[in-house]
Amino acid sequence: MRRRSPTPWLHSLHTDARLRLFCLPFAGGGGAAFASWGRWMPPGVELCPVLLPGRETRLSEEPYQDMRALVVGLADGLRAALDRPYALLGYSLGATVAYELARELRRRGHAPPTRVCVVARHAPRFREREPIARLPDDAFVRALQERYNAIPPQLLAERELLDIFLPILRADFTLLERYQHEPGAPLSTPITGWYGTRDATLSRDRVAAWAEHTTAGFELVERDAGHFFHQDPQLIGDVIGRLQ
């Protein structure tokens, strides 16, 4: 049975789910990035795209620009949904958020996730490349396109829409560029990392370094892809196959 979510961080919750998969999006993204995943989920596994401030149903809210504040807000907001086993998946920016969320939930005494899935993101100890968050709009857009080819042509052509979207992206990149990993005990949860071999923003070694952050085993999966392959059925199948 589906019930309305008691928190703005989620659309709704199934009372009969045996496991929840919380999905955290890439910079500028929202829960819609994972909308198509729902039809692939096996019975009993509930897809829970996380709704971040500043976009979608929370467009009127200020997006976070500080990782610690975001993770504390998330841990508070998801508390009611942690009443059964869960896994965390993060894409790009979302991977770092998922990792820090797992650490925050551990600090609070919650049961650990069954798995942390990190996609298209280097391990936390690596810093961002040359900062771009404070560039003027045109230079910021050029840098995004050169690195990620992230903004669709139709959005680039609609300046009014782009002006709505850019502050969200800028806030997310500010969050990324300010983030500094604080060393601590590794997670006791298995981590699986995926990356595209044609992703110019990553290297195999930097993704493989996620192994440092778990005592429960790390698995690296390569895909013939660029940075964005979140709609790839093979990725979705890979994730589902690793849920417990």
Report the catalytic residues. Answer: 92
- Give SS3 for 153: helix
86-91/19-24 β-pairing: parallel
Per the listing, tokens 């086993």 go with 85
Task: Tell me the sheet residues that pair with 3.
Answer: 13
Among residues 36, 75, 28, 74, which one has the least CA distance to residue 55?
Answer: 28
Residues 6+ away with beta carbon under 8 Å from 154:
none
At 243, is the secondary structure helix, strand, or coil?
Answer: coil
- Asked if residue 144 lies in contact with residue 150, where contact means CB atoms within 8 angstroms, the answer is yes
d(CA 167, CA 165): 6
Q: Hey, what amino acid is at 114?
A: T
Residue 208: Cβ within 10 Å count = 15
**Which amino acid does the sequence have at 16?**
D
